[in-house]
Amino acid sequence: AGSCQGNSVERKIYIPLNKTAPCVRLLNATHQIGCQSSISGDTGVIHVVEKEEDLKWVLTDGPHPPYMVLLDGNLFNGGVMLQLKGTSRVSGLAVAVAKPNPPQGFSPGLKCPNDGFGVYSKDYGPEFAHCNMTVWNPLGSGLSYQDFDFPIFLLEDANETQVIKQCYLDHNIPRDGSGPEYPLCAMQLFSHMHAVTSTVTCMRRSSLQSTFSINPEIVCDPLLDYNVWSTLQPINSSGKVDPDKEVIIVATRIDSHSFFWNIAPGAESAVSSFVTHLAAAEALHKASDVHLLQRNIMFTFFQGETFDYIGSSRMVYDMEKDKFPLRLDNIHSFVELNQVALRNGSVLWMHTDPVSRRNGSVEVQVRNLLDILSNSSMGANVTLEEVAFSQPLPPSSFQRFLRARHIPGVVLTDHNTAFQNRYYQSMYDTPENIRMQYPEGLSPEETLEYVTDTAKSLADVATVVARALYRLAGGANNTSAIQADPKTVTRMLYGFLIKMNNSWFQSIIKPDLKGILGDVPQHYVAVSSPVNTTYLVQYVLANLTGTVVNLTKEECLNPDKTPNAEKEMYDYAWVQGSLDPNSTLRVPYCVRSTVHLSKALSPAFELRQWGSTEYSTWTESRWKEIRARIFLVASKELEIITLVVGIIILVFSLLATYFINAKADILFSIPRDPGAVAY
């Protein structure tokens, strides 16, 4: 009963903010970035900042510091943040989402993404190192890579933002230039982080705790997940591919990032490319003679690429250490899809590495690759063009493979020089950014099936890529039948960008994975794996490229005990299936595919080289609680008066109790019976 009363009192005092996303602390070999609160949370009087002039009240004029700033999303930029960072009058920040997206663009990422971890360095193409030749992300403010000593939260719900603004209007708005009267509306943000300084420091502390403590307190975790890969022709996943067998790698990244934790829509930076990749894989698998192709094709989806190429660097490391079925020597060529949704007209740009092309044999193979790609676009609504020979590769997984070996390769993008994407690595890289539009009034099921112009455009790119891969692999037949399906593309875009919990995704996953289908898709790599995106890419790829086999549930779940299952060659999945039209039950079935997962954990953690400059060293701090709430706060004078009155009452109570106790025999003695006679 006591706890119930306590909660009801708390509810009368505080209004919790339930739809928020914090900025958390990340660490690498040398730095800590992100935000945190003090251990007991940070509190401040709310002030709404909707234009730059409003900052003056917070920074100099306001009489009630520290302030908790409610910042309009259009003002969340490097200049404003520099002012707020340089004062002790700010205790925290709540950012309202800008609607519509900021027209000037917004990218909290770096101007030169993954700098220092690609192929260009003082030893390899020094003229291209550190984006000397091309600044890929000119709008990058680097906000995501700064360290803030106060908490910053994103307000995801417009209704909650309005509640805060109303509280501000009712209590905090300055009157005639003077400060408002108490009580004032205040906000408290909790986001205390356990890790400090760098990955080297936090991993050492965690390691010591694990060694000497029964209940170790881990303070940070490496960013990790799984890469998803499959092959056109099955290979023994636990063995080694024949050294003479050539394999073409098709690659793309499946993760994104923004300033706020687990807010990573990544429409252009990740989803557009991996959806195109999946559609190309489906189109190729439908070709009738793929089993006869002289070269195999491996479809690869890398996780953690945003954080210094975690997935690709791990795969290269595994290939070098013979821990992967392929070796680097098996790679014939490399084709990467990288931001392809924002094409100008129909142009798709082909980027190659000018340094490796100085080698004669590599130049011949790259030239052949470019010619095949160009010829494959004939008759399609895609025009492939080469970038200037003197221009380096954009940030791409291919760079990690080039660090290990001169491999002929091409990176396909919608940009010639700087990114077309004005919201790279931001919360605004949404479906609207890649021009996904639906008619009003559609039901969720109709929206899932509605073929958008974006889907048609990406299907065109997937068709060209699939036809080129067929030719590269030695296919000689007419490629006109190889065609990506815009309906599949539109379903994937809806599922990966708008609503994961849809009827198609429900039908293609295992029954025990129903819980991964949240509403709003996010593509942050995280520290617990596999994340939703990895699972869904795995099962979408299996659905599009696998075959339904006539096995019972027991046989499907235990292929070791099933004759002719070839467990080393194939993966088996018992999936939910679609709803039976005449009932509420699903019709499950068994899917056989060549889809596999491989670790996407940086080799730096395998080697315990936490200060590595060769491999990614990103970790995420642990925390105890993340929450936000608003409440009314009284003046200091009233608080002091209340405290003094409370102390006086306490002292009076103690004195009264003492005197009552001392005179208890008089005050509480039993009176004699007047009729009693004493002898």
pLDDT at 341 over 50: yes
CA-wise closest residue to 275 among 515, 533, 48, 45? 533
> Helix axis angle, 532-545 relative to 272-285, nearest 10°?
20
pLDDT at 461 over 70: yes
- The answer to whether 501 and 513 are in contact (CB under 8 A) is no
Q: What is the pLDDT of residue 2?
A: 46
Q: What is the pLDDT of residue 183?
A: 92
Q: Are both 506 and 581 inside the same structural domain?
A: no
- Euclidean distance between CA atoms 550 and 556, whole angstroms: 9
Residue 53 lies in a domain: yes
**Residue range 119-144: mean pLDDT, rounded:** 95
Q: What one-letter code names the amino acid at 129?
A: A
Residue 266 lies in a domain: yes
Q: Are both 551 and 433 inside the same structural domain?
A: no
Q: What is the pLDDT of residue 6?
A: 52
Coil, helix or strand for 341? coil
Q: Are both 361 and 246 inside the same structural domain?
A: yes
Q: pLDDT digits over 10-51, tens only?
A: 888 999 999 999 999 999 999 999 999 999 999 999 999 999
Q: What is the pLDDT of residue 3?
A: 46
Coil, helix or strand for 517? coil
Least confident of 278-292, 418-432, 573-587: 573-587
Beta bridge partners of 70: 48, 94
pLDDT at 577 over 50: yes
Q: Are both 565 and 632 inside the same structural domain?
A: no
Residue 65 lies in a domain: yes
Q: pLDDT digits over 492-539, tens only?
A: 999 999 999 999 999 999 999 988 898 788 999 989 879 999 999 999
Q: Are both 306 and 346 inside the same structural domain?
A: yes
pTM of the model: 0.92
> Structurally, how many domains does the chain consist of?
3
Q: Are both 298 and 158 inside the same structural domain?
A: no
Residues in CB range of 268: below 8 A, 6 or more apart: 339, 341, 342, 420, 421, 423, 424, 429, 433, 434
CA-wise closest residue to 463 among 283, 235, 629? 283
Q: What is the pLDDT of residue 677?
A: 55
- Cα 566 from chain centroid? 35
**Residue range 583-607: mean pLDDT, rounded:** 94
Beta bridge partners of 619: 27, 222
Q: What is the pLDDT of residue 624?
A: 94
Q: Are both 264 and 299 inside the same structural domain?
A: yes
Coil, helix or strand for 654? helix
Q: What is the pLDDT of residue 210?
A: 83
- Cα 339 from chain centroid? 16
Least confident of 31-35, 155-159, 189-193, 639-643: 639-643
- Euclidean distance between CA atoms 382 and 372, whole angstroms: 14
Confidence at 1, pLDDT banded by 50, 70, 90: very low
Q: pLDDT digits over 528-546, tens only?
A: 879 999 999 999 999 999 9
Query: The CATH number of the domain where 22 resides is what?
Result: 3.50.30
Q: What is the pLDDT of residue 620?
A: 97
Question: Domain range for residue 244?
Answer: 224-527+594-601
- Euclidean distance between CA atoms 667 and 113, whole angstroms: 83
Coil, helix or strand for 174? coil
pLDDT at 243 over 60: yes
Residue 134 lies in a domain: no
pLDDT at 619 over 80: yes
Confidence at 672, pLDDT banded by 50, 70, 90: low
- The answer to whether 265 and 497 are in contact (CB under 8 A) is yes
Q: Are both 495 and 552 inside the same structural domain?
A: no
Alpha helices in 262-340 (DSSP H): 272-285, 310-320
Q: Are both 186 and 307 inside the same structural domain?
A: no
Cα–Cα distances (Å) from 206 to 198, 199, 499, in that order, read: 12, 10, 37
Beta bridge partners of 335: 250, 410
**Residue range 230-237: mean pLDDT, rounded:** 94
Residue length of the chain: 679
Residue 653 lies in a domain: no
Residue 209 lies in a domain: no
Beta strands in 360-509 (DSSP E): 383-386, 409-413
Query: The CATH number of the domain where 354 resides is what?
Result: 3.40.630
Confidence at 176, pLDDT banded by 50, 70, 90: confident
Q: Are both 158 and 295 inside the same structural domain?
A: no
Least confident of 161-170, 331-340, 400-409, 556-565: 556-565
Q: Are both 455 and 421 inside the same structural domain?
A: yes
Cα–Cα distances (Å) from 200 to 205, 600, 605, 610, 650, in that order, read: 9, 20, 11, 5, 52
pLDDT at 393 over 70: yes
Beta bridge partners of 16: 629
As a whole-number percent, the residues of the chain with pLDDT over 70 amount to: 97
Q: pLDDT digits over 343-387, tens only?
A: 998 999 999 999 999 999 999 999 999 999 999 998 889 999 999
Q: What is the pLDDT of residue 476?
A: 87
**Residue range 447-467: mean pLDDT, rounded:** 97
Residue 210 lies in a domain: no
Mean residue pLDDT of the chain comes to 93
Q: Are both 370 and 244 inside the same structural domain?
A: yes
Q: pLDDT digits over 643-660, tens only?
A: 899 999 999 999 999 888
Q: What is the pLDDT of residue 469?
A: 97
Q: Which tokens hold the place of 670?
A: 């039993």
Residue 124 lies in a domain: no
In degrees and rounded to multiples of 5, residue 55 shows phi and psi of: -65, -25
